[in-house]
Every structure is written in structure tokens, then in C-alpha cells.
Structure 1
């Protein structure tokens, strides 16, 4: 068994931490909280992994909990989704060395749960308790135009995630489904609905190719989905000539309570999950399974009581090779933890 080694604990939030999000280069970590702030942390020492500092506090733009925080691909903008039903867009001012809220996106009728930037930074997606997903186009001078309001989910939408290379969006909902959205003739539509979970889907993440999705649910399972494109060798039907997503692996019995977060490393290929049972677990695919159609995933590391007795709301792998073994987590205890994944014998 490998292990998760705690290398730093970042304290500063005075309410639960909802999401942790690495900047595209990994040189900063943004965290959002029930205390209505975003904190930006940096590792201030190249030699000491435990030496971290809060270098910015973003506050004043939201009246309620900040539920989600996301970096633009440029690393110069942040988006924040709040229970006050708005989304804030923040920009770093090189002159003043400060972050400023330059736009507030309104329209959702209830709590905004998640926000995500497309891979090229030209689109922003938000989702809400009002059962809708909104897609916004990034225009010049900090203007944002709503291109589409997607209303096919029947319940609260918990999370949105963009494909790592294409303009394709996935959304996860309280209605136990994942929906896949694409654009056609200037409008967005649902091209597939992924069914299998038996309770709320809290989190989703793509692998580095974008051909696979992992989902985490209140039903205490992780499910792995594979995209089958038209004319695939396996003979999977693709209605409307659109790729079809199929459940190819389900992990159960590893968490005792709701799984709130999942992160699929784009570097080391491992999947980390975080749960209300206070455990963080890391899963690795068996190298002997050479087929994508029936992969076998095994637990390779576990941290029990990773945030004491508190629920763990978010996990996120470091985005680059530099610290591919780092994992960040945030919990109801208000702390942000930095872990190192240590292989046997390392």
C-alpha cells in the first residue's frame, strides 16, 4: 500500500471549506468557504513543502457562502459561485498587486453551486439549485453574455465540468444523472444522459484525454464512464451520431457515507475521493487491464480522519509534473490540507 502523508495544514478560513482549486501552473491554490471569502495560498519555499502563506484574501463580493472557485486557463482570472445566486469574476491587477471583482453574473434564481471555465477560457458554465445550467461567453472588457440556459435536469445541479480539450460540458445533479452538453447551430443541447447512480451525484471529473469521466455519489459509489464515438469497434450504438457514454466500472464498499468530491489526476492517472466518512482514498487502475471496456480499479492509499471528525468537501490533484504527488483537500473543519502521495519504498 502507498500512503498519504500530510505535509501542510493551512488555517485561515473561519467556516467550512467548500472547494480547493489549483492554479493552472500549480503555483497557487485557491480555496472558498462559508465565510464568504476566497483565500489564495502559495508555497513560499522551494525546499520546504510545509511552508505556505495566504497571499490574498478575496472578499466583499458575495453576501453568502462561496460554494465554488475556478481558475481561468490564463491563471489571471478567477470565478466564484455563491449561495447568493451570483457568480463573481475576479481579475488580478498587476499594477496594484490585488484581485478585483470585475463582473457579477446574475440570472440564477437560487444558490449557485458550481462554476467552471472551458479549456480555452472563452466560455464559463454555472449551475444552480434552480435546476439549470447556464453557459456564458467571455467577451471583451469583462462583459459576459449568456448563450444558453439548459433546463433538462429535474433537480438541483451540483457540479459542472468541461472536457479538457473540447467545448463539451458535463453536469451532475440531485436527479441522479449526468448530462453531456454540446453546441450545435449556436444552441446547446443535451446529447447524452448518464444513468446508473441511485442517489445524488455530487462530483464529476474527466481524465486527461476527456474520453472518460469519474462520478461520485451519495449512493457511496464511484462510477467510471467511457465515451464510445460513432463507428466504434465495440459496436456500441451512437444515437444521432453523437458519442455514447457507458458505465464501465463501479467502485463500491470503499466509503461508508456520501462521496462529496472526486479528482482524476491529469498527470499520474490516479483518482482521489473524499467523503462524509472523513476518509480520503486514492485509487489506481490495474496495469494488467489493457481494455478500457472493463478496467479494474483498486484502492492504493487511504487517510482516515483526514480532517478529524469533519466531512471532507473537496480534493484536487496538483495539475503539473512538478508536484504530481500532491493532493489538496478542504473540509468542514475550515482547514486546507496538502498531502503527498507516497509510493511503497519511496
Structure 2
């Protein structure tokens, strides 16, 4: 997979709104709600500000549970049927918190219901953004405090099913907590594999597979094995701190319906095979670092060994299957940042990636089919391995046209928060009245200036 193409950006990042009022202290991270037009912003003033994405005004505040800066937050998935929102927070006071809020009129809502004009329940639910949020503050309940880390918590993440919560810390550890019942969490794993501050944790979208990035320049993957969590893969490659890791969508997006640049039947068939192999390998992982690089990693699917047959060849029942996995670097995105890259976000709708960091830039990247490619050199009988390692996969035949992709920059903007660093960037659905479709997304940036800004890509 080549990533060397550096054409001029094709689109423009335009300002949509600045969320109001901003924090008077540094803001670290913004998490869009999984199904409501809300976003949670973690701040150094020991609060989380909940903003309405209908009008970009303050909806409510979460406060009183932590003694130091709140570094991160994450919404628990799968809570719609229960009619409540559950937010996990991680703080520099070394504790994680679980907060709950009843969604009121949202309970029992239909999937297709349109909230662009307001929420079920109307103004009584406080979601039209009256700007003060005083009534709503009382509705956030600090349900649980999770203690155990010895130093600052840097990241929290819920598993896709909501059963597990992962936390990581400056104390070099990754913890996995299991929710046994409401407000009752049990520590099921403490992993101390990293040799430095653990900056970020992220869960696979369909598997109970956990990734972490660290100050020790590595990425590690963990999985449960016989009631014990263990490290199943280590990705070495970055030359400095890994600030962020994130999995892509469980479905392939961004390539299936791209305009054909080579319409031959052979190319169409090869692209179909390529997409099938990607599906088989599962979601890829993206990472960014102090070394200014953004890298994409792919799992090499494990081959299923044939069952031995014939006289004297019996399969051993004593040998257990290893759960170790092999992940390889598939691509590096074009380098556009001049200082540390703090976060990247992978769109679940378009497959595009957005990045930001210490230089204040916001850069958007897109994966596309290469316009032409052929293999005339060494090949590998294992097409999955060759594809994953960035080499031509032609199923053992030379001089065969194959499908390949490349990453290009489609938009770039400097000084997103003036002279201040941008700590976090993410994709979020648009809910405001200006949106043109339910699938339209926006970019949200969170900075040292205390502001959260919304941007659109045109």
C-alpha cells in the first residue's frame, strides 16, 4: 500500500460554530454522544461540559466528582433502550468516574425520529440549549468512583458491547473493569506490559480486543485467554511517543462506491478480492506519534491448519491454540504535521481520517484506489500477507494487474485555534438546522484555549 502521493488538497475546512460558552481553562477531549445530539468536553477546571449539537450551546455540566483536571471521557454504548446516558470520566486525580443521567422523553424513541427541531420532551428536557444548564446539573449523578491507578488517568474507553471499561495511566498500566450490575464494577485485569506512560486505549468495534499506545513508542493489543487478559501483539515501528490509537469501522467504507478510475473487468475483480481480504482481516488500527507519522496497521489472518490424517498421525489434544496475533504496518499517511500529532479520528461513514496536534493544523486524508498498478517483481503465495505488508499480492503469478490503494490529503488548515495547541479532533454527526442529510458529518476540535470548534468539509 503506497502512501507517497501528495497532491494539492481538493477540499476546504470551513468554520461552522464555536461551542458557547467556552471553558476558562484548557480543554482536553470531546466525545460525541452515540445517539443524542450532545458532546462531552473534558476540561482542566475539573468539569465536563455537555454541549448541545443542535445549537452549539451549553446543555449541562458534570462536576463535583474529581479533585483535579478531567483528562478524558467516554459515553457507554447501548444505553438507549434503558433511557439513560452513562458517561465515564478519567482524571489526573488517578480515579475514573461513572456518571448517569435519565434521558427523559428520549426513552422508547424510534430510530427514524428527527431531532433537528428539538428533542422528544421539548424544552423540559433541557436539550434546546437555554445556555445556563443549572437545572440539568442536578440530573447528573456521580454513581461510581473507580480507584486503583497510582497516577494520572489519560484515557478511558468502553468495549463495543458496554460490558468492559478500559483505563490507562501515567503509572504505565492498563486496567480492565467489568460492570457486573448497575453501579457495581469489578477489576478483571491489570496489565503492566508498557515501560512508559500509557497515553490511550481503544477497543475493537466487534471483538473484545483492546489496544494501547505508550510513551515507550509501542502499541500493544490485549485479549482474554482462559479468564486472564494477556498481551497478544506488540507493534514496534514508531520512533517516539504513541499519542493515539483508534480502530476503523467494522465495515469497509470509503472504497466500495468510489468512481472507477480503471474500468477493466480484471481490475474490478481484483478490487473485489482485495475488499474481501480486508473484510477477512477485520478492522485496521491507526496510530499517531511524536515522530510526526500516522500509521495504519493490519492484522494478518491466521491460517487454519489442516487436521492430520493417516496412520500414526493423530492431532494432539494437549496442544492449545495460541491467541497471539500478527499485525503489520500497512501504510503511512502523507506527512503534513510539523510537530507532535496528538490525535487522529477515523470516520465511520466515509472512511476518511482527520488529524491534529501541537502545530495547530487540521488535516483530512482519504484512501483511494490507485489508478493503475501491476506486479512484475517478487510475489507471495499468501495474498493476505503480501497485501498487509504493502507488497503486491498476485496469488503467486507475476505480471498480474492487482488492486492497490493509496492515501492522499484532501484538506488542510493551519492555526485552527489561533496560536494554541489542538489537543483532540474527532468526526461527529451534524444535528444543527444547516445539515443537508442525516449522514452529514462535521469535524470537532478541542484546544488549549478552552474552546471547542465545529468545522465542515466542503
Alignment partners' CA distance in 2, 1:263 and 1:255 = 15
- Do structure 1's residue 298 and structure 2's residue 414 form an aligned pair? no
Task: Check 1:281–1:94 CA distance in 2 against 1; reply closer, same or farther (3 A cut).
Answer: closer
Alignment partners' CA distance in 2, 1:26 and 1:296 = 34
What is the deviation of 1:139?
1.7
- Do structure 1's residue 256 and structure 2's residue 333 form an aligned pair? no
Which residue in 2 is equivalent to 1:40?
50
What is the deviation of 1:292?
5.9
Which residue in 1 is equivalent to 2:427?
317
Alignment partners' CA distance in 2, 1:153 and 1:313 = 23
Greater Cα offset, 85-94 or 275-284: 85-94
RMSD of the alignment, in Å?
1.9
1:216-252 residue CA offsets vs partner (Å, 9 max, x unmatched): 10111101101111019xxxxxx93533110011135
Corresponding pairs, count: 330
Higher strand share: 1
| TM-score, normalised relative to structure 1 | 0.91
Alignment partners' CA distance in 2, 1:168 and 1:324 = 29
What is the deviation of 1:15?
1.0
Counterparts in 2 of 1:225-244, with a 5 A limit?
A: 225-231=297-303, 240=322, 242-244=324-326
Which residue in 2 is equivalent to 1:8?
17
What is the deviation of 1:40?
0.8
Greater Cα offset, 116-125 or 242-251: 242-251
- Do structure 1's residue 92 and structure 2's residue 63 form an aligned pair? no
Paired residue for 1:204, among 225, 236, 245?
245
Higher helix share: 2
Which residue in 1 is equivalent to 2:275?
none
Task: Check 1:185–1:55 CA distance in 2 against 1; reply closer, same or farther (3 A cut).
Answer: same
SS in 1 for 2:438: helix
Paired residue for 1:222, among 294, 299, 303?
294
What is the deviation of 1:3?
1.2
What is the deviation of 1:319?
5.4
Which residue in 2 is equivalent to 1:154?
195
Which residue in 1 is equivalent to 2:66?
62
What is the deviation of 1:165?
1.0
Structure 1 segments unaligned to the other structure (5+ residues) = 45-50, 233-238
Which residue in 2 is equivalent to 1:168?
209
Paired residue for 1:195, among 236, 245, 250?
236
Q: Do 1:26 and 1:319's aligned partners in 2 also have CA atoms closer than 8 Å?
A: no
Alignment partners' CA distance in 1, 2:153 and 2:218 = 18
Which residue in 2 is equivalent to 1:339?
455
Greater Cα offset, 314-323 or 279-288: 314-323
1:108-149 residue CA offsets vs partner (Å, 9 max, x unmatched): 000011000000100000000000000000121301100010
What is the deviation of 1:323?
4.6
Bigger radius of gyration: 2
Alignment partners' CA distance in 1, 2:439 and 2:283 = 24
Task: Check 1:273–1:191 CA distance in 2 against 1; reply closer, same or farther (3 A cut).
Answer: same
Which residue in 2 is equivalent to 1:30?
40
Q: Do 1:268 and 1:324's aligned partners in 2 also have CA atoms closer than 8 Å?
A: no
Structure 2 segments unaligned to the other structure (5+ residues) = 1-9, 80-84, 105-134, 251-281, 305-320, 374-386, 391-404, 431-436
Which residue in 2 is equivalent to 1:145?
186
Alignment partners' CA distance in 1, 2:361 and 2:209 = 31
1:34-56 residue CA offsets vs partner (Å, 9 max, x unmatched): 11110111133xxxxxx321111
